[in-house]
Amino acid sequence: KQEVTQIPAALSVPEGENLVLNCSFTDSAIYNLQWFRQDPGKGLTSLLLIQSSQREQTSGRLNASLDKSSGRSTLYIAASQPGDSATYLCAVSRNNAGNMLTFGGGTRLMVKP
Amino acid sequence: EPEVTQTPSHQVTQMGQEVILRCVPISNHLYFYWYRQILGQKVEFLVSFYNNEISEKSEIFDDQFSVERPDGSNFTLKIRSTKLEDSAMYFCASSEQGMNEQYFGPGTRLTVT
């Protein structure tokens, strides 16, 4: 059974810092990995999708990498801003028709002005 | 930008009652999903739906749950006889193809008393 773990569970940084969020998964037979942002009491906003054949994806100040064989992904946020404060979730999908996502517990990020 | 919508945003019901949660997926998407998030816990997959049938379902999705696409736009989740432990945020998601990026709605908070 796939297990997804995110470290750290919470992170507080001053504005302007570059930071790295970590995601690990136990079964490397994934089809893709998706990073989401969740604001308190709100839905999930998709940030980046990395296919299993890819090594990284970039969107603005965000860069996500994937090392499928070692079961790890990182989300790099450059020049953090207070508006980046949210919970960041990673989720992996299996290589099958249902495309169910298995989620990690999230990293709660606070960027202080 | 197209988005997934869900109604109601908050539903309060008594134990044993039936509830129907509604979703309007993005219009050209073919795959639909329900997930739930119990307060303080991980987001959990419930069911995926394609071509008017269930593609995959989790252990949570027992006989008390059902899904339907009653017309060309709505996608519904029905819980026949709610239990206290069904209290959670329920998220609908959709994707263009089975292995593409999933887009989530804002969620329906279900409170069972």
- Residues B29-53 have pLDDT tens digits of 999 999 999 999 999 999 999 999 9
Contacts of B98 in chain A (CB under 8 A): 97-99
Quick one: which of A13, A55, A9, A51 has its CA closest to A32? Answer: A51
Q: What is the mean pLDDT of chain B?
A: 94
Query: Would the CB atoms of A99 and B99 count as touching at under 8 Å?
Result: yes
Is the backbone peptide bond immediately before B70 cis, with ω within 30 degrees of 0? no
Query: Would the CB atoms of A44 and B91 count as touching at under 8 Å?
Result: yes
Share of chain A above pLDDT 90, in %: 85
Cβ contacts of A87 within 8 Å, gap of 6 or more: A37, A38, A39, A40, A106, A107, A108, A109
Reported confidence tier of residue B108, pLDDT bands at 50, 70, 90: very high
What is the least distance, in Å, from the CA of A44 to any CA of chain B?
6
Cβ(B106)–Cβ(A42) below 8 Å: yes
Task: Return the ∠ at Cα A98 (arms to A96 and A104), rounded to 5°.
Answer: 90
pLDDT digit string (tens) for A6-20? 999 999 999 999 999
A2 CB-contact burial (10 Å; exposed 0-12 / middle 13-18 / buried 19+): middle
What is the least distance, in Å, from the CA of A37 to any CA of chain B?
11
Query: Which range among A53-62, A87-96, B59-68, B84-93 shows the weakest confidence by mean pLDDT?
Result: A87-96
pLDDT at A41 over 90: no
pLDDT at A82 over 70: yes
